[in-house]
A and B are shown apart, each in its own frame.
Chain A
Amino acid sequence: MTEQPQEPEYDEDETYQLRLFITGASPNSTRAILNLKEICNQFLKDHYELEIIDVHQQPLIAQAEQIIALPMLIKKGPGAERRLIGDMSDREKVLRGLGLS
């Protein structure tokens, strides 16, 4: 299921800008970080910038980014902005959300 043809469908020139919002060291957050890093390493290699933000530390950002559910990943680019919530354990949905599938 891992190395299959869906792999390089992204634009080589684009850099994926990802922001992951988490809440401290909660189980969901840690799982989300691990899952996301795995996916990124596998599918995006060096074409991504991942910013991990602890909302507890920056509560103002929650309002600015319309955050309700956590953990949440925002894909700022390329293409339309997408939001993914959850611990990123559903790999297919994550890939679909990032436009990689």
Chain B
Amino acid sequence: MSTAPKKSKSAPHYPTLPKAKTGITGLDEITGGGLPLGRPSLICGEAGCGKTLMSLEFLVRGAIQFNEPGVFMAFEEKASELTMNVASLGFDLDKLQAEKKVKLDYVHIDRSEIEETGEYNLEGLFIRLNYAIDSIKAKRVVLDTLENLFSGLTNQAILRAELRRLFQWLKDKGVTTIITGEKGDGNALTRQGLEEYVSDCVILLDHRVINQISTRRLRIVKYRGSVHGTNEYPFLIDEEGISVLPITSLGLEKEVSSDRISSGIPAMDAMLGGKGFFKGSSILVSGTAGTGKTSIAAYFANEACNRKEKCIYFAFEESPKQIIRNMHSIDVDLQKHIDKGLLQFHASRPTLHGLEMHLVAIYKIIKKFKPRVVVLDPITNLITVGSVSEVKSMLIRLIDFLQEEQITVMFTALTLNNIVNEQTDEGVSSLVDAWILVRDIEFNGERNRGMYIMKSRGMKHSNQVREFIITDKGLDLVEVYLGPEGVLTGSAREAQKLQEQTGEVLRDFALSSKDRELIRKRKVLEAKISNLQMEFESAEEELNKMYQQEQLIKQATQNARDEITNRRRGEQPVKKGGKK
């Protein structure tokens, strides 16, 4: 109970602990700003894990980047050897020495040459160190494998007392010091228990070989008065020195973009709401062997380069030349982008080094080239150097890193069976933003490629299976034929199309003949109607004629009768009125 309030009280002071930046990629992130300023730190580890190199890089970077000259006291290697060893990393120690930025001092102790004849102290070392520090106004000191003193001198009691005095003296001097020490047996960090004198910051380096693949790792065992990353971090030694990859610092607070970028295949963009993928998202293309995953990836890379965006293509299976040649066959010219410096290929066999090293290597290359688009083809091969969970954790970190940098990434993954399994793809399917599945559709004696979008976060996307066709003109998607016989692809689709076309023609034909018959019928009908009409007319005429005849007869009869009547009366037939 008493410690809790104390802690919270002193917590605000933690960030104020002054630190000296190491300048080593990644190490400053893990340590929250570097090593404790003006205090000694211990770097320990087994032989060959990079202690000397790391401490020397600390010194050189300090001299070059932070204008803090440094003294390197070597108890193991001669100055000339050191200079040669680090020349491969691009550090010119001779030049730095001439500029009075770095001072190398080789301390030689050989027990066989020395006779101990009584009380002594290490004042000589102090004087040397003091002189070296003062002569170049050093701010940093490295004591490389101080424990060699123990092999040169026998009186442990004196040595321990003197070491204690040395560290106190260094602190008083205000120089930031790195002491390196060989890892001891068992749990001991160093052979001689140096950690008991250097208690501010202890960094443990490790060089492990798992499955014949070696990985260097770094862990901060202790950092008094400062928060620090506690995990084991892989680190890489290459021609530019050491790079540590911090991974724990990544949260889920990255920026997101709602900009879209094209996949390079218009039909696929159309499936993705017409605009393509989100910028800075991660895309997984999975499928069985030979379904065109690399082609999709190459198209994507090509499209990015066409937009004048930089792109890196990490190939774990094929050599760059092979990919370039193969992509020519689908009318994609990657070489011209390489020539323009927009595209970079990095091909390495997964077994070249451990997963972590791959990650660090990828990380470094990306940091350097600053691409907008990254392709990893295929991630499945990484499984040969690590377990599924390791690959997954590596990919998580990679995706995190890429999203932080707003880089769009496309992975390809080989699935081994046709059954869509949520557990395939190294378990990254839950991490990626978009998942495109290319699969074989075996039907009717041929194999075709079907493609669909398994998921695409945050956008409307088609739920249709499309047929994915690769021609010498490039990639395209066509709608599969969905008919009463199911999904048809390839030649079956073509055949079905043809069949439909014939059907249409036939139907057209049938339709038109029916039309004609109708017209004919109508004509017949019309003819009949006119016939009848004519018949009717003639009948009517007949009738009329009869009627007129009747009238005429009637009239004639009347006339005759009148005539007769008149004759009887003897009257003139003019008096017609009598008739009334």
A residues apposed to B, CB below 8 Å: 21, 23, 26, 28, 31-32, 35, 55-56, 59-60, 62-63, 66-73, 81-90, 93-94, 96-97
Contact = CB atoms under 8 A, between A and B. Distances in A.
B117 A70 contact: no
A62 B115 contact: no
B117 A89 contact: yes
Tell which of A56, A70, A94 has the most Cβ of chain B within 10 Å: A70
Contacts of B107: 66, 68
B117 A69 contact: no
12 contacts: A26-B123, A55-B123, A63-B132, A66-B107, A66-B108, A69-B120, A70-B120, A72-B124, A83-B113, A84-B114, A89-B117, A97-B117
B127 A23 contact: yes
A23 B152 CA distance: 21
B119 A59 contact: no
A85 B131 contact: no
B130 interface: yes
B115 A59 contact: no
Contacts of A31: 118-119
A87 B131 contact: no
B116 A70 contact: no
Shortest beta-carbon contacts, A-B, top 5? A86-B118, A59-B131, A67-B124, A89-B118, A97-B115
A41 B409 CA distance: 84
Contact of B120 (A28, A55, A56, A81): A28
A57 to B, nearest CB: 10
Contact of B124 (A70, A81, A87, A97): A70
B167 to A, nearest CB: 16
B115 A68 contact: no
Nearest to B125: A68
B161 to A, nearest CB: 13
Contacts of B153: 68-69, 85
Contacts of B362: none
A68 B124 contact: yes
Nearest to A67: B124
Contacts of A32: 118
Interface string B120-144: 1111110110111000000000000
A47 B48 CA distance: 50
Contacts of B119: 28, 31, 86-87, 89
A93 B116 contact: yes
